[in-house]
Amino acid sequence: MIRLDADKQVHFCDGLRRRDFLHAGALGMLGLTLGDMFALQATGQAAPVDRNCILLFLVGAPSQLDTWDPKPDAPSEIRGPYKAIPTNVPGIRISEIFPRMAKHADKFALLRSVYYTGVAVHDAGHQVMQTGRLFQAGIESPHVGSVLGYLKGPKGDVPPHVLLPHAIGNTGGNMPHGQTAGFLGKIHDPFVLNADPSDPHFAVRDLLPPDYITALRADSRRNLRSMVDGAVKSFEASPDARLLDASFDQAYTLVSSAKAREAFDLSKEPDALKEKYGRNRFGMSCLLARRLIEAGVRFVTVNMFETVFNEITWDIHGSAPFSPIEAYRDLLGPMFDNAYASLLEDLHDRGLLDATMVVSMGEFGRTPKINPAGGRDHWPQCWTVSMAGGGVKGGQVVGASDDIGGYPRDRPIPAGQVAATILHGLGVDVTKELPGPQSRPIRTVDHGIEPITELF
């Protein structure tokens, strides 16, 4: 990590030293380094529709048959161990592992025929689902949240795109996961919390600079910028430091704004609500996502897991280091069900659901037939995505899989259409061109990829 408090000490007139102003520890708690500091600068015009989005990314790839597209009449090796239960919308059934979600089917839509033709590797699925494209020729496309942040910029003191609780790590492919701003540049990367909101020690102080910052007068704080600039000219000549001028003021705003810090303060939420969401990393991240949307963040990505190795995830190959199919009933189903249902209820009760799209998806589906280890393997040929709020008409199913949940039967939905639909729902013209490498214009989504307009 690059430090501003280098070997030579610089003393200010009030007795403070440069290291007292910006210590690497303060930036580290924000998930920031000077080389990859997030930026909050708007460079586009607001579209007529101004909605927000919470993307729940279910790392590991849930099985469509054991979640939102059950096949109760199929043979047992296809059907799996879970029963299909009715929802509050006649004709729509989902897995018994989601009893609370079943009571909210009138609020969400299911896309049951999503597919892509790339390799069945987690990283590739992460890319196409979050950016709309597979990366080619070394060009990384931007996450849809970064596109939104680039075009619309921040609202107030909070960043436009926040990623909770950590970025996706190793999932076996050694490729980018599509969670950065890609060719838009690091200045438009999401702000990454890099902390576990369910940790008993997680508190708003994790986002504060050292205590003495709060004791300074507001006018003195701003004057410190020019002093730091003069002291680190040699550093600012480096390529990484060029990002500093473009994002310093807004990064500083986040650490110094009481309103921005308050958005991250889960201690203000009642214990009863925390219990409903679930006092686990995913549940508390979903609750924090609601707080951030309420505070003005445009897009929040919640990763349910960081990896698929040596912990229980949706990646149910059936044998170590992966997860058994029983984990859907014992852990994953209840964890998702409580957090998702509580999030929809919370947003609805606060009048935020109509303006906030909630998208739940994994990177692909799972094999229709249970494997010899008792699990299901990677399957990008067909799976289900759910969408709620933000103008989406709930209580509907778009597309259908075949009798074994293996391939689209009706209304095939290329994976890139999911990203296009999210952007469309957020008021972004998907034909708009973005500045690609060497200033070459690149469309927001590929030609021929259209939003799923019947959702709205």
Determine the average pLDDT of the residues in 382-404: 98
Least confident span in 2-6, 242-246, 356-360: 2-6
99 Cβ partners below 8 Å, 6+ apart? 85, 337
The number of residues making up the chain comes to: 456
Distance from the Cα of residue 336 to its chain's centroid: 15
Q: What per-residue confidence (pLDDT) applies to 252?
A: 67
Answer whether CATH 3.40.720.10 is correct for domain 51-203+265-455. yes
pLDDT (tens digit, 9 = 90+) per residue, 254-299?
A: 777 888 889 999 999 999 999 999 999 999 999 999 999 999 999 9
The SS3 call for residue 387 is strand
Q: How many Cα neighbours within 13 Å face the side chain of 252?
A: 17
Residue pLDDT, tens place only, 417-434: 999 999 999 999 999 999
Average pLDDT over residues 53-67: 98
What percent of the chain shows pLDDT beyond 70?
78
Q: Where are the alpha helices (DSSP H) in 68-184?
A: 76-79, 122-131, 144-152
- Mean local confidence (pLDDT), 172-196: 94
Residue 46 pLDDT class (50, 70, 90 cuts): very low
Of 262 and 16, more confident: 262
Judge whether 384 and 94 are in contact, CB under 8 Å. Answer: no
User: What is the pLDDT averaged over residues 354-371?
Assistant: 98
pTM (2 d.p.): 0.84
Q: Residue 207's pLDDT band (boundaries 50, 70, 90)?
A: low
**What are the structural domain ranges in the chain?**
51-203+265-455
Q: Binning pLDDT at 50, 70 and 90, where does residue 248 land? A: low
User: Which among 407, 408, 436, 430 has a CA at the least distance from the CA of 417?
Assistant: 430
- The percentage of the chain sitting over the pLDDT mark of 90, rounded to a whole number, equals 73
Q: Look up residue 404 and give its two tokens.
A: 């074994």
Which residue did the predictor score with more confidence, 326 or 10?
Answer: 326
Confidence of residue 120 (pLDDT cuts 50, 70, 90): very high
Query: Predicted confidence band at 226 (pLDDT cuts at 50, 70, 90)?
Result: low
Given this model, what pLDDT does residue 121 score? 96
Residue 238 confidence (pLDDT) above 90: no
105 half-sphere exposure, CB direction, 13 A CA radius:
21
Predicted local distance difference test score (pLDDT) of residue 438: 87
Output the average pLDDT for the chain: 85
Give the pLDDT band (50/70/90) at residue 228: low
Average pLDDT over residues 214-233: 52
Has residue 224 got a pLDDT over 70? no
**The pLDDT of residue 206:** 55
308-328: burial string, b at 16+ Cβ within 10 Å, e else: beeebbbbbbbeeebbbbebb
Judge whether residue 215 has pLDDT over 60.
no
pLDDT score at 256: 74
Report the candidate in 3, 21, 23 with the shortest Cα–Cα distance to residue 13. 21
∠ CA 414-148-355, nearest 5°, is: 90
Split at pLDDT 50, 70, 90, the class of 223 is low
Residue 204, phi then psi, degrees to nearest 5: -60, -25
394-417: average pLDDT: 98
